[in-house]
Amino acid sequence: MITNEILQEKYRVQKCLSEQAKDMHEYFVQIDRDVEELAKKYGFKIKTAASIAASKKMG
Determine the Cα–Cα distance for residues 54 and 59; give it in Å rounded to an integer: 9
Q: Could you read off the pLDDT of 33-57 as tens digits, one per residue?
A: 888 898 999 999 888 777 777 777 7
Count of domains forming the chain: 1
Quick one: pLDDT at residue 59?
Answer: 64
User: What mean pLDDT, rounded, does the chain reach?
Assistant: 85
Determine the Cα–Cα distance for residues 6 and 4; give it in Å rounded to an integer: 6
Quick one: pLDDT at residue 42?
Answer: 94
Quick one: pLDDT at residue 2?
Answer: 77
Q: What's the residue count for the chain?
A: 59
What residue numbers bound the domain in which 18 lies? 5-58
